[in-house]
């Protein structure tokens, strides 16, 4: 069973998960590009993954058989496992608990050769809808405090299977990065009685120079203090704390702006590897006033090195204003931009 151990100095939890060591990309031995025949995420190979949790099927086909357009399965090499109790306990001065959690894979398309950015809008909407469905289901489990959805695209971003997919991990603790955002946002709210994220949106619309693209409901911009070159944050313009509360009518625009951002990165930066993470509030209602969900998109263009590891400072070689202008001015096919 995986184990969670808490760093007693800064309070960060670490997952010790030896199961993960067995997966194909173990310590940098990258798997050769799989042909669709050998790919566990391709139709016909459903038995190579754990049983599906949900799937979108329009043709009445049976579970765990071909015919799906999107499929969610448990991760075969989970960082955390679903069965068991947390059993939090001290070990001398240290703190540990069992590595309980959910680790799921959202297989975004049956087509091995299409990345998320290449998919039709409806298919991207389905992916975003699956994020919501799984979050709604998992938040009912009282052991889970946080549900993180993320995507690793490309080898440099840590993807061990090339077939387009995202992942979800539900954790029994609030991750440190999220906790830091919560603390900062709460402080700002206590002082100003306004949401910091809403204020940032107002400022960015006013300044214009860091905006990459926007539509009626969403804005994508390069953060003022971006850590990485071409880092982009995507947010709803209206104040929405939990991702699952995003109105169904907004999903067209969300899928459209996400595709547009990915298309601009692909076009402008020669199809880079990237990560994105969906930051939403932890399970519960006490964050409602001051937290605002967003997606952080980070193309993998630089390596995090000694200075960053040692300090938490980042050295960003590209001014966010220049990055935003470059991406904004790219000629993008009209079909990518339309809703
Ligand atoms: Zn495949
Ligand atoms: Zn807000
Ligand atoms: Zn965030």
Query: What integer pLDDT is reported at residue 97 of this predicted model?
Result: 94
CA–CA gap between residue 335 and residue 70 (Å, rounded): 23
User: Closest ligand to 114 CA?
Assistant: 1
Query: What integer pLDDT is reported at residue 35 of this predicted model?
Result: 78
pLDDT digits (tens, 9 = 90+) for 40-93: 999 999 999 999 999 999 888 999 999 999 999 999 989 999 999 999 999 999
DSSP state, residue 259: H
- Mean pLDDT over each residue of the chain, to the nearest integer: 93
The phi, psi pair for 145, rounded to 5°, reads: -100, -25
User: Closest ligand to 276 CA?
Assistant: 3
pLDDT digits (tens, 9 = 90+) for 103-133: 999 999 999 999 999 999 999 999 999 999 9
Query: What integer pLDDT is reported at residue 307 of this predicted model?
Result: 87
Query: Which has the higher per-residue pLDDT, 274 or 19?
Result: 274
Catalytic residue numbers? 165
Ligand 2 center to residue 127 CA distance, Å? Answer: 24
Ligand 2 center to residue 327 CA distance, Å? Answer: 25
Strands of 294-299's sheet in order across: 52-57, 68-74, 102-107, 165-171, 146-153, 274-279, 294-299, 232-236, 218-221, 211-214
pTM of the model: 0.94
pLDDT of 21 > 70? The answer is no
pLDDT digits (tens, 9 = 90+) for 222-273: 999 999 999 999 999 999 999 999 999 999 999 999 999 999 999 999 999 9
User: Closest ligand to 192 CA?
Assistant: 2
Ion ligand 3: residues, CB within 5 A, are 279
């Amino acid at each position: 069973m995986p184990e969670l151990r808490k760093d007693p100095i800064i309070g960060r939890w670490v997952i010790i998960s030896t199961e993960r060591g067995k997966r194909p990309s173990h310590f940098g031995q990258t798997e050769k590009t799989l042909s669709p025949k050998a790919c566990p995420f391709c139709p016909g190979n459903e038995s190579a993954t754990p049983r599906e949790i949900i799937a979108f099927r329009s043709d009445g086909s049976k579970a765990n058989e071909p015919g799906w357009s999107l499929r969610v399965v448990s991760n075969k090499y989970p960082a955390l496992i679903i069965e068991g109790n947390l059993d939090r306990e001290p070990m001398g001065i240290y703190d540990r608990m069992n590595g309980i959690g959910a680790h799921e894979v959202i297989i975004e398309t049956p087509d091995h050769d299409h990345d998320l950015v290449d998919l039709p809008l409806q298919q991207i909407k389905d992916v975003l809808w699956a994020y919501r469905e799984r979050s709604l289901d998992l938040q009912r489990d009282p052991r889970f405090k946080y549900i993180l959805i993320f995507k690793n695209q490309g080898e440099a971003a840590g993807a061990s299977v090339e077939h387009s997919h995202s992942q979800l991990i539900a954790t029994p603790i609030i991750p440190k990065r999220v906790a830091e955002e919560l603390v900062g946002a709460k402080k700002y709210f206590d002082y100003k009685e306004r949401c910091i994220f809403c204020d940032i949106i107002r400022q960015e619309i006013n300044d214009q120079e860091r905006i990459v693209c926007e539509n009626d409901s969403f804005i994508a911009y390069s953060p003022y203090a971006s850590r990485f070159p071409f880092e982009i944050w995507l947010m709803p313009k209206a104040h929405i704390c939990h991702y699952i509360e995003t109105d169904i009518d907004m999903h067209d625009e969300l899928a459209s702006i996400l595709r547009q951002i990915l298309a601009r990165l692909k076009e402008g930066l020669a199809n880079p590897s990237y990560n994105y993470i969906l930051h939403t509030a932890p399970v519960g209602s006490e964050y409602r006033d001051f937290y605002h969900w967003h997606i952080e998109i980070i193309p993998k263009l630089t390596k995090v090195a000694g200075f960053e590891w040692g300090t938490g400072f980042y050295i960003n070689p590209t001014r966010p204003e220049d990055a935003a202008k470059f991406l904004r001015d790219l000629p993008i096919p009209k079909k990518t931009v339309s809703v």
